[in-house]
Structure 1
Amino acid sequence: MPVSRVIPHVQTLLFAITTSAALVVSTTVPAAAHVSADDSDPVADLRTDIDTILDDPSLEGAISGVVVRSLDEDDTLYSRNAATPLLPASNMKLLTSAAAMDVLGPDYTFRTTVSAGEDPSDGVVDGDLYITGTGDPSLTVDAVADLAGEVADSGVTEVTGDLLADDTWFDDTRLHPDWEEGDEPYYYAAQISALTLAANDDLDTGVVNVTATPGDRVGYPVDVALEPMTDNLSLTNRTKTGTATSARTLDVRRKPGGNAFTATGGLPLGGSPYATLRTVHEPTDHAAHVFADALADQGVKVHGEVGRGTTPADSEEVAVRHSDELSDLLIPFMKLSNNGHAEILIKAMGRETLGEGTWQAGLVQVKPALDRIGASVKDVRQADGSGLSRGNLLRADIVISLLDAVRDEPWYDDWRTSLPVAGGQDRMVGGTLRNRMVGTPADGNVRAKTGTLTGVSALSGYVTGTGGEELVFAIINNGHSGPAPRDVQDAIAVRLAEFSRTTTTSADALQPRPGAPRALDVPDAPGRSVGDLECTWAEAC
């Protein structure tokens, strides 16, 4: 991606930050400015050390909102720009997930049904067959196959009419107006629909898997495939296998407004296979075509076309699938920072409360929910559920307020479990933190939500100090021009894991651990080209 795309947004970001900071300058508390460090005072040492960490050159010209609070002692250990509204990136998911647990409930499930427009008792549906979605983010290819199997088990062998997909539980606005147009091909900006397919075990919705293997000889086409491939997709292969020393230049794109994919570039001879994800246009249609193929595999013949329609009120249900409960769905959502899941939850909240599956109806549920939980909602500006929008603004002290308040909720344990765990090598444990803080006192200790956009990075969550003291922290960095300052965030988190009110920490504790992987050394995740990055331009960050 051309660098010229990044620069205007960094400039916009800095303007937004400067403007926001000016509005709240009177309430900003510079933590260590008025604290005289005392070698015998562990809290003063902590403040000095965090100040030192934040002086890292990677944050030159940036603004950082940082707050550390003790849950045991109910005091603030550190505060810098606590009340400055900043872009939170995926830290916005902390608010979305907590609100969803309050509004929808931890036992909430998504329902997908198959209904016959006419009585199918003789095995023939004389009319149309409908598949109706309510936003299930876990509707995998296997789940669709199970639905088709249930249709066949009901005795249905033939449909004289069409197979129609009903996605009217949500509106038909697929992409948030704040999202960058250039992001649409990438998995983190997939279109949102009430009937969408999860293409992999990570439950990435609205996408297809792209796989590519070098040809047998130089000049031969690369073997490129889309999965699941259906009649509504097309793939033009213009690739070539390069020499063994050539670079990987393969790319797969689709024209906006359709599902005509084109593969270009190449892979080196004898090189490793390549895998990534690409979004589909109109995920409802793609899910319907996958279901049509599954019905055919089950021997159910559909004479008509695959299209869309609204399920009649008097239709007869022939198959149904309930998703896992929301408390379980939070795991892939929060561990892997799944943007699509966040937006689905926003629209689901709107549908369940106001009867409107829209961003507008769902977003207005968040602040009242946080208020019921007991968290501060002052100065929150939420434009979407995931944090992909640059219209979001969030203060570090509000994040702390939420992390504290949710502990009194009956669903707190499930919510806390959904947060990534530093160094947890299982993807559904460590998530976006599985390769961070490995081999440090924070390993297996820090539970926190990450966040990344160009010029924006965040890490907020829970950590236990060496003395057993429970701490919450929020770190939101805005306006840095280079890579995300994850090493800075990790150094603060490790320092908190070493904190004790009865002992001091030497300066050596602030140095990187020999042998521990750096925060940016993140290997590729299955099906993704750039590991755990959540940034706006994922393949360039």
Structure 2
Amino acid sequence: MRPLVNACLLLSCLSIPALADDYFDNLLSIIKPPHSHTAILATNLVTGDTIFQQNPDTLLLPASTMKLLTAVAATASLGSDFRFSTRVYSTLPIKGGVIAGDIYISFSGDPTLKATELRSLLKQLTDQGLYRIEGNVYLIGQANEQLQAPGWVWDDLGICYAAPVSDFVLNGNCVHGKLSPKLASNQSQLTVPGYVPISITNTSVFDKLGSEKFCQLDLQRLSGNHFSLSGCYSGSQAIKLAIAITDPGLFMQESVEQVLKSSQIQLQGKISIKHQLPTKTRLIAAHESAPLSDLVRTMLIKSDNLIADSLLKQLGQKTFQRPGNFSNGSRALKEILSSEGIVLTHAQIVDGSGLSRYNLLSARQLSQVLSLIYTDPRFAQLIDSLPVAGVSGTLKYKTSFNKPPLREHIMAKTGSMQGVDNLAGFIRSDTQDDTLFVILENGQSPLEKKQQQAPFSALFLHSLMDNPLAQHAPTDSDRSPSSQAN
């Protein structure tokens, strides 16, 4: 295990008066993980001085720190009042409680749309007196959608954090269930809500005694939102499952059918999918998501991948005036940030969430994004949307961040996946100037992660806050006679 390092103790080890580079070089010789690739950049935001940098231009996997780029680009391009809309149209008016034709529900990829909101949308129609639709219900969404970005790991696709990104999103395109052991046997019982339009064949077992050398669950994704769960789980306690659907269009189609059946509206026709509205329609009901500022806050605090990539597609749609996808969304994001002065010449961006293993960013590029957030009033609210160490989001319970000196003083975006543990954000403390930092660690050994006393990022930040060379810089008020008198 790597020991926690106190900055003052480390300084006493130096044979010459410590300069910043000497201090951190000696520090890293003690705390740097031996098997990882790392990059660091720390800047005093008051003086503008670089406190320390190492490998700042090395391109590494950003993981969810990519969401910082998405947040800035979406705020700059879409505006803080942007909302996703779900709208109902008809070609004929409601007469005598009847629409003597078809209705159209247009979906825009709202990543936050819930079944309760879909029911409320249809209730707007019953509130107008509608009780029968004599035609069909058409669900309008993009044709031939790109549901996953290049570089998403195949193993992740059945898990809800990698749910398909589509115009059709309901309940996060995710189904929650529970796998429980049966009494007096190794068999399991899978429970999912009965109203959810998916089917799962379950043959998995529980290894209650831990006697199996190779024991893992295997989820196979089949067509038509069918799944097969097999293999074994080592333990004797029930576990929660979060399964991402495979066909969002079918999932929405069957969900709308269920909602209609439970409503007071009779449908004489069928429910099917189309990819374009007729030319002459009238709006008869609408639902809007929360504004972009709220969506971005949720995206950053919870590291919500679906929100991030749904916003990326919106960037592509707005910038290039065509249906959004990962390709044109990534290009739009890069163009928007480049116009803001972020140098992304050698960066590779293929999604907005950071899930893709093809993304590549440097510590310097992430530092430029953070600097823009700090200095430009348009993005000031993004600082308050970051997880706070020991308080909120993905930093609330993270090891070593939920206790002093990091607790409450680190506001940062995490970026974690297999072999990756990144952190990018700010230090705010009464004893030192506002500090920007980016700490990237790729190629992390699973064994080393399991054995470490504290994450590398926590060790570095702990010493950065302890370092006398990085303490509060005197301001004009500090030098004034009144301040000296006190």
| Pairwise TM-score range, normalised by the shorter structure | 0.7 to 0.9
Shift of 1:228: 7.2
1:407–1:243: structure 2 CA closer, same or farther, 3 Å change rule?
Answer: closer
Partner of 1:187: 160
Contact 2:153 2:357 in 1 (8 A): no
RMSD between aligned alpha carbons? 3.0
Contact 1:91 1:460 in 2 (8 A): yes
Please give the alpha-carbon distance, in whole angstroms, between the structure 2 residues aligned to 1:448 and 1:82: 18
1:250–1:130: structure 2 CA closer, same or farther, 3 Å change rule?
Answer: farther
Partner of 1:238: 203
Among 122, 135, 141, the alignment partner of 2:109 is 135
Question: Helix, strand or coil for the counterpart of 1:51?
Answer: helix
Partner of 1:63: 37
Partner of 1:407: 374
| Structure index of larger Rg | 2
Partner of 1:467: 431
Partner of 1:153: 127
**After the TM superposition, which residues 405-444 of structure 1 pair with which residues of structure 2 at under 5 Å, given as runs?**
405-424=372-391, 429-436=392-399, 437-444=401-408
Say if 2:259 is the partner of 1:282. no
Please give the alpha-carbon distance, in whole angstroms, between the structure 2 residues aligned to 1:386 and 1:221: 37
Among 462, 465, 481, the alignment partner of 1:497 is 465
1:53–1:165: structure 2 CA closer, same or farther, 3 Å change rule?
Answer: farther
1:53–1:416: structure 2 CA closer, same or farther, 3 Å change rule?
Answer: farther
**Deviations, residues 394-441 of structure 1 (Å, cap 9, x unaligned):** 1111111111122233332321122111111xxxx2335433311121
Say if 2:24 is the partner of 1:47. yes
Shift of 1:212: 3.2
Partner of 2:358: 391
Contact 1:253 1:262 in 2 (8 A): yes
Please give the alpha-carbon distance, in whole angstroms, between the structure 2 residues aligned to 1:165 and 1:246: 50
Please give the alpha-carbon distance, in whole angstroms, between the structure 2 residues aligned to 1:465 and 1:288: 52
Say if 2:166 is the partner of 1:207. no
Number of residue equivalences: 452
Name the aligned partner's letter for residue 126 of structure 2. Answer: A
Partner of 1:3: none
Partner of 1:202: none
Contact 1:91 1:458 in 2 (8 A): yes
Contact 2:217 2:231 in 1 (8 A): yes
Say if 2:308 is the partner of 1:345. no
Say if 2:401 is the partner of 1:455. no
Please give the alpha-carbon distance, in whole angstroms, between the structure 2 residues aligned to 1:46 and 1:347: 45
* Identity in percent: 25
**Deviations, residues 225-247 of structure 1 (Å, cap 9, x unaligned):** 3347444x223343567769899
1:472–1:502: structure 2 CA closer, same or farther, 3 Å change rule?
Answer: closer
**Deviations, residues 240-297 of structure 1 (Å, cap 9, x unaligned):** 677698999785734333311234467899x544212111122132123223222222
Contact 2:217 2:233 in 1 (8 A): no
Shift of 1:134: 1.1
Contact 1:163 1:292 in 2 (8 A): no
Question: Helix, strand or coil for the counterpart of 2:50?
Answer: strand
Say if 2:236 is the partner of 1:259. no
Please give the alpha-carbon distance, in whole angstroms, between the structure 2 residues aligned to 1:112 and 1:214: 41
Contact 1:466 1:497 in 2 (8 A): no
1:228–1:345: structure 2 CA closer, same or farther, 3 Å change rule?
Answer: farther
**After the TM superposition, which residues 370-381 of structure 1 pair with which residues of structure 2 at under 5 Å, given as runs?**
370-381=337-348
**After the TM superposition, which residues 289-308 of structure 1 pair with which residues of structure 2 at under 5 Å, given as runs?**
289-308=254-273
Please give the alpha-carbon distance, in whole angstroms, between the structure 1 residues aligned to 2:208 and 2:36: 43
Please give the alpha-carbon distance, in whole angstroms, between the structure 2 residues aligned to 1:127 and 1:440: 65
Please give the alpha-carbon distance, in whole angstroms, between the structure 2 residues aligned to 1:313 and 1:46: 68
Say if 2:293 is the partner of 1:327. yes
Please give the alpha-carbon distance, in whole angstroms, between the structure 2 residues aligned to 1:392 and 1:313: 40
Partner of 1:446: 410
Contact 2:107 2:140 in 1 (8 A): yes
Please give the alpha-carbon distance, in whole angstroms, between the structure 2 residues aligned to 1:180 and 1:268: 24
Partner of 1:311: 277
Question: Helix, strand or coil for the counterpart of 1:90?
Answer: helix
Please give the alpha-carbon distance, in whole angstroms, between the structure 2 residues aligned to 1:62 and 1:252: 29
1:154–1:53: structure 2 CA closer, same or farther, 3 Å change rule?
Answer: farther
Shift of 1:463: 0.6
Per mean C-alpha deviation after superposition, the further-off stretch among 242-251 and 254-263 is: 242-251
Q: Which runs of 5+ in 2 are unaligned?
A: 1-12, 473-486
Please give the alpha-carbon distance, in whole angstroms, between the structure 2 residues aligned to 1:412 and 1:307: 41
Name the aligned partner's letter for residue 443 of structure 1. Answer: R
Question: Helix, strand or coil for the counterpart of 1:471?
Answer: strand
Partner of 1:126: 100
Partner of 1:98: 72
Question: Helix, strand or coil for the counterpart of 2:284?
Answer: strand
Partner of 2:10: none
Contact 2:81 2:291 in 1 (8 A): yes
Question: Helix, strand or coil for the counterpart of 1:152?
Answer: helix
Among 315, 335, 340, the alignment partner of 1:368 is 335
Partner of 1:18: none
Per mean C-alpha deviation after superposition, the further-off stretch among 378-387 and 323-332 is: 378-387
Contact 2:179 2:241 in 1 (8 A): no
Please give the alpha-carbon distance, in whole angstroms, between the structure 1 residues aligned to 2:283 and 2:218: 39
Please give the alpha-carbon distance, in whole angstroms, between the structure 1 residues aligned to 2:186 and 2:445: 41
Name the aligned partner's letter for residue 187 of structure 1. Answer: C
Among 83, 88, 96, the alignment partner of 2:62 is 88
Please give the alpha-carbon distance, in whole angstroms, between the structure 1 residues aligned to 2:282 and 2:215: 51
Contact 2:91 2:103 in 1 (8 A): yes
Contact 1:128 1:163 in 2 (8 A): yes
Say if 2:166 is the partner of 1:166. no
Shift of 1:80: 0.6
Contact 1:111 1:134 in 2 (8 A): yes
1:123–1:250: structure 2 CA closer, same or farther, 3 Å change rule?
Answer: farther
Contact 1:347 1:362 in 2 (8 A): yes
1:101–1:68: structure 2 CA closer, same or farther, 3 Å change rule?
Answer: same
Shift of 1:70: 0.6
Please give the alpha-carbon distance, in whole angstroms, between the structure 1 residues aligned to 2:37 and 2:209: 45
Per mean C-alpha deviation after superposition, the further-off stretch among 97-106 and 172-181 is: 172-181
Partner of 1:176: 149
Contact 2:177 2:242 in 1 (8 A): yes
Q: Name the TM-score, length of structure 2 as normaliser.
A: 0.84
Name the aligned partner's letter for residue 441 of structure 1. Answer: P
Question: Helix, strand or coil for the counterpart of 2:222?
Answer: coil
Please give the alpha-carbon distance, in whole angstroms, between the structure 2 residues aligned to 1:245 and 1:66: 41
Please give the alpha-carbon distance, in whole angstroms, between the structure 1 residues aligned to 2:227 and 2:430: 53
